Structure 1
Amino acid sequence: MELTATEAKREFGDLILKAQSEAVRISRNGKPVAAVISHEEFEQYQAFKEQQLKAAIEEGMADLEAGRIHDGESVFEELRKLAK
């Protein structure tokens, strides 16, 4: 479901009820700017983000332990080469 910002403001009570069963997109001037989701979906999203962060940290630690490291200057040098 999608509402304009004006509709969302005018129908805020209904918006909250609708968000309990489905995500509601909010647009302003025809462009999406926000979404309203249920608390349960929000908690799932937060848990997913935490899981992804932990996995990235574990991957980084494994790279360090295996000696797969690069200093910042060499990384930027490679990026500069790719940008040319």
Structure 2
Amino acid sequence: MITMISLTANEAKTKFGNMLISAQAEPVEIVKNGTPVAVVVSTKEYQRIEELKMELVKARFDNIDENDLVDGDTFFEELDSGQYD
């Protein structure tokens, strides 16, 4: 599990500047009514996450073969039928 600072929504609002400073070092979880609703991360961390996601997408395309391909209409029919639910 990732360790992070946790603030209530009210704390995040009243300590916004401190929250932004903390987010530069580690993710900050925002909790509202006892339920986690958001995580604030630095721009640098967000960009790193997006780069990792793109690397994953590229890796999946690199490993694709003809058996993995389907016709677009067929895929959407299967999707509409609930096959991927």
Partner of 1:29: 33
Give per-residue Cα distances to partners, 1:14-56, cap 9 Å, x unaligned: 1001111111100111111111111221111011011111122
TM-score of the superposed pair, with normalisation by structure 2: 0.70
| RMSD between aligned residues | 2.6
The percent of aligned pairs where both chains have the same amino acid is 36
Runs of 4+ in 1 over 3 A off after TM superposition: 67-73
Equivalent pairs counted in the alignment come to 75
TM-score of the superposed pair, with normalisation by structure 1: 0.71
- Secondary structure, counterpart of 1:44 in structure 2: helix
1:1-84 aligned within 5 A: 1-59=5-63, 62-64=64-66, 67-69=67-69, 72=74, 76=78, 79=83
Name the larger-Rg structure: 1
